[in-house]
Structure 1
Amino acid sequence: MSALASFLQKLEVKNSGLPVSALRNPDLEPIPHAKRQWAFWSFFAYYGLPNVSAATFSIGSALLSLGLNIKQSIGTIIVGNIVITLYTIMNSNPGFKYHIGYTLEQRMLFGIRGSVIGIIIRVGLSVVLYGYLSWLGALCLNLIFSSWSKSYMNMKNTFPESVPMTTRDCVAFLIFQLIQMPFSFVKPRKINTMGIVFCFMAMFSVIGILAYTVSTNGGPGPLYYKGQDLSANQRAWTWLLAITVWYSGMSPVIANQSDYSRYGSHNIKMQIGVALGVFITGTLAPVAGMFSASATEQLYGEPLWLPTDMALKWLQDGYTAKARCAVFFIGLSFTGTQLVVNMTQNGYACGMDLAGLFPKYINITRGTLFVQLISWVVQPWTFFNTTSAFLDSMTSFGIFTTPIMAINVIDFYIVRKGRVSITDLFTQDQNGAFWFYHGINFRALAALLVGIALGIPGLVFSVQTDLKPNAAMNNFYSGYTFFTVIVSGALYYILVLLFPIKQRVGISDEKDYFNAFSPEECRNLGMELYSESFDTEYLGLETGGAKSRVYGIGSQNHTPVSQRSSKSEAPVVVVETAAEKS
């Protein structure tokens, strides 16, 4: 046992003497004011990048396969962008106001122990999506290598036909995975500049592809003029499903919002950046993709949906200096886009979540390396075999994240009135605000499970086409973007009314124990500015003549003041005097 204890001790996260326990490490704490530097362009790029990625460029294939035409698909995208913007802004404030991420939000919603549920859901999605976007990144990287070498472009495929990938794609996938790994050691807040650069590069690439294909074809092509023969009832439900397809691809980003809104330096700039990032890029890329695919159908006899397929076609038709230069720029911009999107939304997100599950042993870097090493097991190359496979994967993501988003909005704004005790997020004390019943908030858990359960049958019917579908369940699945929000949100509020939360509802910390808030924020929150004297309270010493009770942080592994590396690092503590307790 002593050898095992020694081994585990060596595995513990090293944080220069800062407190680490079963519930806490520095990667989970509120972001200090000096490190919150994301403003308009950072949030514009954060939401612009997934919209101008290769996957979003090809989303039109999924929308048109539903039976809509291009004009109707554009309408669903615009409505979907409105929904995405509203959901994102509503889901931002726990992160922006209190500078905490998704992982701590789960403790706020489901309880200190129940938070494992929401965290595991996102860990699972992160692993799948990391592999998915890595494969797309490999296809983009192929463009760069193909523009350098004609031999690489024409590499002989050594895999049998039963394997749904080529040797060239496999090589690019392995290289792209290796390129991503060093970014595990980059702080998530520092990747914003790189994101802004690649966002605009990808926007120029999207515009260039659109201009070239339409001008070369002499018009938008046959898909643009294609009609549809849906009845009024079918069209209504198809519109709902199309909005859901568009929303669902962004739903993990919406759920993740607090992970990055906590880096925001100005609320209005963040909201404007989100709105414009969603609307400008979220309309430009899919519309350009549909017009370009329509033009390529007339040019090449079949529509090309992925920008990588279009660019490789240009090289194959003529390996000229002009074509190679254009393909290199397109490949570089989309490769960079895939890298930043994958790291921010899946790599770092999984790292943050695993740090919440195992704070003593995992930080963001270790958690990100974990998802990078196992993401290949989902076999992402199988996602691109058919349009239906792509559509099913896109529409299923939001089933699991939308209920969490709805519960979060109701809990933060209505139940807690926008006031959260951060210190209670790091305690297993039964009087803590987020202990609920044995560490689990069964109200939120019930609302989550009901929301997910109602969406599962529709997903099953969409995958198992040999089953006779239930019309009501199919319709719920088509519109779960709206229906799940209503069901899970309303059910959670009703359960709170029937079974009121008794622990410290609508209470925020009286003092800035984390040295995370600016003087202006402290004034607005009625919070006392950080003082070194708070370290004494953290150690549970007597203050002000009253015996203080300190909420634990999950273990007795408290770090004495003398061992702390910097006075700027504040303790996690709630001090409650005997008078306050009574």
Structure 2
Amino acid sequence: MRKWGVTSFIAYWISDAFNASTWQFASSIIAIGLSWRESLGIVALAFFIISFVIALNGAIGVIHHCSFPALARASWGFWGSYIAIVSRAVLGTFWFSIQTMNGANTLRVMLGAIWPSFLTLKNDLPASAGITTNTMLSFFLFWLLQIPFLCMHPNKLRWLFMAKSIIVPIAWVAIMVWAFAETGGGEMFSQQKATLSGSAYSWAFLSSLTSVIGNYATLSVNQADFSRYSRVSVKWQLIYVPFLPIVFTFIAFIGIASTSAGLSKYGAVYWDPMALIENWESRAARFFAAFSFALAALGVNISANSLSAANDLTALFPKYVNIRRGQLICAVLCWALVPWKILASAISFLNFMAAYAVFLGPIAAIMVCDFWIVHRGKYDTLALYQPHGIYRYTYGVNWRAVTAFLIGVAPNLPGFINSINPSIEVGVGGRPYQFGWLLGFVSTSLVHVGLSAIFKPQETFVEKSVGPDDVYDATGYVDGESERSGSGEEIGREKGGWKERLERIL
């Protein structure tokens, strides 16, 4: 089932990059007081940093062809991995709901272009609901449209990503052309300096950087969910390092140009692209522009969120949940998260992104450091599926990873609590939260590597990396070679001593 080539991965990342959140990065950073140059610099720096983590964790999936939940067992322990799995399942479901809300806004504009009276439907919902009747209907319809795609196997989804990587960039470049043709770039490009200064500027810079990283922190953890299907060499994962900063920064630039054009033409800062598109007079232009954003939201919601949550749920409830059922469960749970309130303003959007990164930074750090530094790139694929195997550690839990995770998360908790309930005063205790991903990643890495060096888990080390194609069954056949002629003993000798390995496994 290894059907993903280089083209598939490039299409996948272009598909992921072109979504409303990426468009909003720089615009929402400008909204809190930084200049357009600084906002683009923050986006480029954020993706340069996160691209290394994505590439390193993606490479583990290519080598062992396992999903994130299975790979997490090697660093967290067979049962300890549930800490990381549950954390990512919850966060993946959260982000699924956010992208569904983005998709609902695009669908509302599309329906308004076809049926103008839809936008003026009587609102029967109270103001406290934070959403209108037509937006709620759009949310339900977009949620419903996602269901068929949630039932597809990941190998088939690569065609969706390829289609999106062609259609959406063309539409967004056209919007950028409109922005420069209408206003010549607008007023934002004339702003050369930030409106903030001193410590306020520094903290705004750090919090914005963390927010941008947090948006794709989930993919720094779950890249193996897709790279496991790779049929190309592991070295191709390194393409992310130059590719991601360039693509994401370009899309953020489109967002700035369009927002700037909206400011000059309509007199308001529309950091939400749908709010900008709604001002266009041409109904056809509104429809097709909104369609491109709807397709963008659909693609990223599946690739980054529903499949992540589904893989986690299959690990938590393997007897009852497969990937298809897991995605459907994720879709049902998103209703409970009221995403329309999270996306109420630029400030709340950035706060949510920062909160999202608090837990994923330490998780990514543990996986990267454990494989590449502690175990020096040597895992045993078969042992990842053995509850009482070499990755059992202490009662199934690697206390080193758990300790490192808690130390990485703890400094961010006061700020995290304050972001949930601003009435709770935490004072300077909230400062670490503003660069939570970086702090969590670095501190967790140091603690995990340090504890693993002092209290070395000897039983987890293997002399040679054992990949999925190196695992022998009881007859001596390598996986996929049962059709070959010759006795099991002959093939065992050819491949290098299956009997000795089988003895050790048993």
Instruction: Give the TM-score, by structure 1 length.
Output: 0.78
SS in 2 for 1:59: helix
Deviation string 1:355-400 (CA, Å, 9 cap, x unpaired) is 1111122110111111111210101111222222211111111111
Could you tell me which residue of structure 2 aligns to residue 552 of structure 1?
A: none
Q: Are the structure 2 counterparts of residues 231 and 384 from structure 1 closer, same or farther at C-alpha, using a change threshold of 3 Å?
A: closer
State yes or no: 1:575 paired with 2:502.
yes
Q: Which residue, 439, 442, 448 being the options, matches 1:483? A: 439
Could you tell me which residue of structure 2 aligns to residue 401 of structure 1?
A: 360
Deviation string 1:193-233 (CA, Å, 9 cap, x unpaired) is 21122133222222222221332124322464263254455
How far apart in 1 are the matches of 2:498 and 2:121? Answer: 75
Runs of 5+ consecutive residues of structure 1 not aligned to the other structure: 1-34, 517-526, 538-545, 550-573
The within-5 A match list for 1:490-501 is 490-501=446-457
> Given residue 434 of structure 1, which amino acid in structure 2 is its aligned partner?
Y
Could you tell me which residue of structure 1 aligns to residue 309 of structure 2?
A: 350
| Contact residue 70 and residue 224 of structure 1 kept, 8 A | no
Could you tell me which residue of structure 2 aligns to residue 171 of structure 1?
A: 137
How far apart in 2 are the matches of 1:346 and 1:39? Answer: 22
Q: Are the structure 2 counterparts of residues 267 and 398 from structure 1 closer, same or farther at C-alpha, using a change threshold of 3 Å?
A: farther
State yes or no: 1:512 paired with 2:469.
yes
When the two chains are superposed, the root-mean-square deviation of aligned CA atoms in Å is: 2.8
> Given residue 512 of structure 1, which amino acid in structure 2 is its aligned partner?
D
How far apart in 2 are the matches of 1:273 and 1:179? Answer: 33
How far apart in 2 are the matches of 1:533 and 1:575? Answer: 20
Runs of 5+ consecutive residues of structure 2 not aligned to the other structure: 489-496
Q: Are the structure 2 counterparts of residues 515 and 139 from structure 1 closer, same or farther at C-alpha, using a change threshold of 3 Å?
A: farther
Structure 1 window deviating more from structure 2 (158-167 vs 168-177): it is 158-167
How far apart in 2 are the matches of 1:400 and 1:152? Answer: 40
Q: Are the structure 2 counterparts of residues 232 and 194 from structure 1 closer, same or farther at C-alpha, using a change threshold of 3 Å?
A: same
> Given residue 286 of structure 2, which amino acid in structure 1 is its aligned partner?
V
Q: Are the structure 2 counterparts of residues 279 and 438 from structure 1 closer, same or farther at C-alpha, using a change threshold of 3 Å?
A: same
Could you tell me which residue of structure 1 aligns to residue 340 of structure 2?
A: 381
> Given residue 135 of structure 1, which amino acid in structure 2 is its aligned partner?
M
More helix by share: 2
How far apart in 2 are the matches of 1:155 and 1:461? Answer: 37
How far apart in 2 are the matches of 1:231 and 1:138? Answer: 37
The within-5 A match list for 1:36-435 is 36-222=2-188, 224-225=190-191, 227-267=193-233, 270-271=236-237, 273-275=239-241, 277-314=243-280, 318=281, 323-429=282-388, 432-435=389-392
Q: Are the structure 2 counterparts of residues 435 and 329 from structure 1 closer, same or farther at C-alpha, using a change threshold of 3 Å?
A: same
Deviation string 1:19-48 (CA, Å, 9 cap, x unpaired) is xxxxxxxxxxxxxxxx22223332223222
| Contact residue 59 and residue 237 of structure 2 kept, 8 A | no
Say which one has the larger Rg: 1
How far apart in 2 are the matches of 1:218 and 1:486? Answer: 43
Could you tell me which residue of structure 1 aligns to residue 493 of structure 2?
A: none
| Contact residue 89 and residue 313 of structure 2 kept, 8 A | yes
How far apart in 1 are the matches of 2:62 and 2:498? Answer: 34
How far apart in 2 are the matches of 1:151 and 1:214? Answer: 31
How far apart in 2 are the matches of 1:504 and 1:73? Answer: 44
> Given residue 75 of structure 1, which amino acid in structure 2 is its aligned partner?
G
Structure 1 window deviating more from structure 2 (255-264 vs 139-148): it is 139-148
> Given residue 441 of structure 1, which amino acid in structure 2 is its aligned partner?
N
Query: What is the deviation of 1:174?
Result: 0.9
Aligned identity (percent) is: 26
> Given residue 506 of structure 1, which amino acid in structure 2 is its aligned partner?
V
How far apart in 2 are the matches of 1:373 and 1:150? Answer: 30
Q: Are the structure 2 counterparts of residues 533 and 514 from structure 1 closer, same or farther at C-alpha, using a change threshold of 3 Å?
A: farther
> Given residue 344 of structure 1, which amino acid in structure 2 is its aligned partner?
S
Could you tell me which residue of structure 2 aligns to residue 567 of structure 1?
A: none
Q: Are the structure 2 counterparts of residues 486 and 222 from structure 1 closer, same or farther at C-alpha, using a change threshold of 3 Å?
A: closer
Q: Are the structure 2 counterparts of residues 265 and 511 from structure 1 closer, same or farther at C-alpha, using a change threshold of 3 Å?
A: closer
Q: Which residue, 404, 409, 413 being the options, matches 1:456? A: 413
Deviation string 1:334-357 (CA, Å, 9 cap, x unpaired) is 111211211122212111111111
Q: How many residues align?
A: 492
How far apart in 2 are the matches of 1:258 and 1:186? Answer: 18
Instruction: Give the TM-score, by structure 2 length.
Output: 0.90
How far apart in 2 are the matches of 1:52 and 1:511? Answer: 34
How far apart in 2 are the matches of 1:528 and 1:469? Answer: 58
